């Protein structure tokens, strides 16, 4: 929410985030920065990524890297 992104609410240990741009490209950039998420283009959601909830440190790192990737 702090990044202005929408997401699909979940009762599981993951959320699906709408990046409003090509999810495959963002996935690749995150991967290049050591952050592993899951693209869901095969589920007809080409602008979304599935993000598993991790530890506080992992979540903070993901958000830092995502913010950097979205700004580039």
CATH number at residue 27: 3.90.1150.10
Q: Residue 28 corresponds to which tokens in the numbers above? A: 């690749």
- pTM, full prediction: 0.89
40 falls within a domain: yes
Q: Is 71 exposed, middle or buried (0-12, 13-18, 19+ CB in 10 A)?
A: exposed
Average pLDDT on 34-54 reads 92
Structural domains counted in the chain: 1
- Mean pLDDT, all residues of the chain: 94
25 falls within a domain: yes
Q: Please state, in angstroms and rounded to a whole number, the distance separating the CA atoms of residues 2 and 45.
A: 22
38 falls within a domain: yes
Q: Please state, in angstroms and rounded to a whole number, the distance separating the CA atoms of residues 11 and 41.
A: 21
57 falls within a domain: yes
Whether 41 has a pLDDT exceeding 90, the answer reads: no
1 falls within a domain: no
CB contact set of 58 (below 8 Å; sequence gap of 6+): none
Residue 48 structural domain: 6-71
């Amino acid at each position: 929410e702090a990044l202005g992104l929408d997401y699909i609410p979940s009762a599981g240990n993951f959320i699906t985030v709408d990046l409003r741009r090509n999810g495959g490209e963002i996935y690749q950039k995150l991967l290049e920065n050591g952050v592993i998420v899951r693209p869901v283009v095969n589920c007809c959601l080409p602008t979304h990524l599935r993000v598993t909830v991790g530890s506080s440190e992992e979540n903070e790192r993901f958000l830092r890297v995502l913010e950097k990737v979205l700004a580039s």
